[in-house]
Amino acid sequence: MTNDQLKNRTKQFSLSILNLIEKMPNSMSTRVVINQIAKSATSVGANYRAVCRARSDREFVAKLNIVLEEADETQFWLEIIEGMKWINQSELGSLQKEANELVAIFVSTLKTVNNRLNNN
């Protein structure tokens, strides 16, 4: 997958999360979760763009770790939404799948780059 493809994929993920939260009920607890998931999901795409501008492998790793952290946090908030049954599982399933795939991509990329750094 190219950097541009992953930039687009992370942007689409952000947009999908924003569309999801528009469907959530309005309560004190949902507002807290909405705020958190909106920040973490949009940070995935925004911070991935910073990864693409990294000037060294070490900077790349540091920035990609932030992206991984935000993607993992987004997974957590999706689990909370699922547990609270604020959105039906059929709508959440594709977002959870995409979050899992993005985390897997970032973990794999980090392992590859870290192995390269450790072998030099």
pLDDT score recorded for residue 119: 86
pLDDT score recorded for residue 11: 98
Alpha-carbon gap, residue 45 to 50, rounded angstroms: 9
pLDDT score recorded for residue 111: 95
Question: CB neighbours of 70 closer than 8 A, spacing ≥ 6?
Answer: 40, 41, 43, 44, 47
Segments of the chain scoring below 50 in pLDDT: none
pLDDT score recorded for residue 24: 96
From the options 3.30.110.30, 3.40.190.10, 3.40.228.10, 1.20.1440.60, give the CATH code of 3-118.
1.20.1440.60
pLDDT score recorded for residue 117: 87
pTM (predicted TM-score): 0.94
